[in-house]
Amino acid sequence: MEDFGQIALVSILSHLIFIVIAWYALQAIRLDKLLKQNHVVQARLLYILLAIMIGSSVSNFFLDYLQWSKQLPLLLP
């Protein structure tokens, strides 16, 4: 039961860290060329949603990879 708490903590931290990294990376893209003028709130919301989408996807990949690497020793008898 103790493992579930640790897994939950690692998952939360992983998602938050990768969302922040995605937010930082998205700052390099000039989406203002694609968006309408004077739609600042919508542009910020789009950045937030993209950061969550990208960060969560990368975090899920990282967590899956971590879980699979823990299961590899089970292949050997």
SS3 46: helix
pLDDT exceeds 80 at position 1:
no
pTM recorded for the entire structure = 0.83
Range 23-37 burial, b when 16+ CB lie within 10 A, else e: beebeeeeeeeeeee
pLDDT exceeds 80 at position 75:
yes
C-alpha span between 9 and 19 (Å, rounded): 15
Delimit the domains of the chain by residue range: 2-75
Least confident of 7-11, 46-50, 53-57, 73-77: 73-77
